Amino acid sequence: MEAFGVVSCAACWGLSAYVAVGGGRTRHANGWVIRGIYLRVRRICAQVGMTPLVGMLLRMASWRSMADSLARALGRRGLYVGREESCALFALTSVMAAVLMALSARNPLGFVVSLMGVAAGVELWRSSRIRARERALIDEMPQVFRTLAMALGSGETLTQAIEYVGVHERGYAGEAFVHVALRLRCGASTEDAMAQLSRELDAPGVGLLVTALAIAQRTGSPLRSLFQSSARLVERQGEYERLLAVKTAQVRLSVRIVCLLPLVLVCVLSLISVDYQNGLSTPAGVMSLLVAAGMDGCALIVIRRLMRGVV
């Protein structure tokens, strides 16, 4: 029965994803059938997207990021949906999977546990995306400094140098410089454009970069040597941060295990074990669960303090 639940949830997610992307490249009658299903699903998602529940979910940064990412993924397949529709699609597939899990486990608690897992998964996904973006920016910033030094050293103006970086650099840094170049072309002041750049790029050396560009715009001073030195310093800082991450990997892994493993064990046992469910329904079982949660919280606090001491 547990295997049936896993297979059912996987089939639900797979079918929902298949419908969401239009079933890939199909032909003739089969393509029209899939297209009709897609239009019906999109109509339902549009109606659900106007409900207060979706609006409440989109107030959270993690769900907004997830909805935008899903909308971009669908847009790359030629299926253009809004933020509300993509959030509704993800919410509907999550509810369907939770219902199948509850039916397969023959326990209504499976529905709640599944939805809690989805909520935790969205938060973990956003935190992993933030960490990946930070690591990517650390790797991109030295080349940004070198590209700016080369552009300014060849006699280009500040606007031309920013456009050059936006055109030749890829990733998050290049995208931010493209936005700044567009603002400057649309008549925005240099101070406002640089302030927006500092808000979009949370990376080492961005404050120095913004200040130096503002000074160069006012005084026309050469900044090639400054940017080259800054590139070397940012590279060195990135190496130190990677070394620190390696040194503290064991502590961070301990924090994740202490936080997640007891919760996962409780959720799994409450779904698959009848004896465990009966134990949780007694006062002694509830008290034991609360004591275990308190001990887990104390261990988390101790490990976090130790990790701050190491960092």
Q: What is the mean pLDDT of each run of 10 residues along the chain (311 residues)?
A: 46 49 45 68 80 84 84 79 83 83 71 79 83 81 81 76 80 82 81 78 75 71 72 79 76 74 79 76 81 80 69 51
How far apart CA 68 and CA 82 sit, in angstroms, is 8
pLDDT number for residue 5? 47
Tokens, residue 116: 């809690």
pLDDT number for residue 193? 78
Q: Confirm if 152 and 230 have CB atoms less than 8 A apart.
A: no
Q: Confirm if 271 and 110 have CB atoms less than 8 A apart.
A: yes
CA distances to 127, 247, 289, 300 from 244, in Å: 19, 5, 36, 21
